[in-house]
Amino acid sequence: MNKRLLSIGLAVLVSAGYSLSAFAQAKPETLVKQRQSAMVLQGKYFGPLGGMAQGKVPYDQAVVARNAGYLDALSRMAWDGFNPNTKDVKSAALPAVYSDTAKFKEAQDHFISEASKLAAVSKSGDEAAVKAQIGAVGKTCGGCHENFREKQ
């Protein structure tokens, strides 16, 4: 890339509120906001699938395949936001997030693996298998919230 373009690119990054070091040292409040945003998007893209699995929303193969792909990516995004330096920021995360880290990590891995299976099976067009896998993903959301999120 030529130097002028590179410096314009960096200027845009900085004016968007990022400096290169900020990626490594985001403020705790920012990390909390980002992890909650990832969760909100998980809710957005999982919600209709949950409805389809329960027969409340008509089954739509194209929406399933798209949302499952988004969820596969989103399932990996929130976790670095649960940095110990965010412990004292007000949020719905329970203290167990920072004390029972092995169990929290296990719940993340379980979710990532089920979301990844859903992305794979969503391409098959096998409605019954897709609905069963949507249920499996939903259980991983609920299971983690049960142990690691304040009751809503």
Q: Name the residues that contact ligand HEC, by CB under 6 A.
A: 32, 35-36, 39-40, 42-43, 46, 91-93, 97, 104, 107-108, 111, 137, 140-141, 144-145, 148-149
Assess contact for 95 and 37: CB atoms under 8 A: no
Residue closer to ligand HEC, measured from CB, 12 or 96? 96
Q: Least separation, in Å, of the C-beta of 107 and ligand HEC?
A: 4
Q: Least separation, in Å, of the C-beta of 83 and ligand HEC?
A: 11
Assess contact for 117 and 136: CB atoms under 8 A: yes
Q: Least separation, in Å, of the C-beta of 112 and ligand HEC?
A: 8
Task: Compute the CA torsion angle 101, 89, 151, 41 (nearest 10 deg).
Answer: -80
Residue closer to ligand HEC, measured from CB, 43 or 84? 43
Q: Least separation, in Å, of the C-beta of 35 and ligand HEC?
A: 5
Assess contact for 46 and 141: CB atoms under 8 A: yes
**DSSP states of 24-35 as a string?**
HS--HHHHHHHH
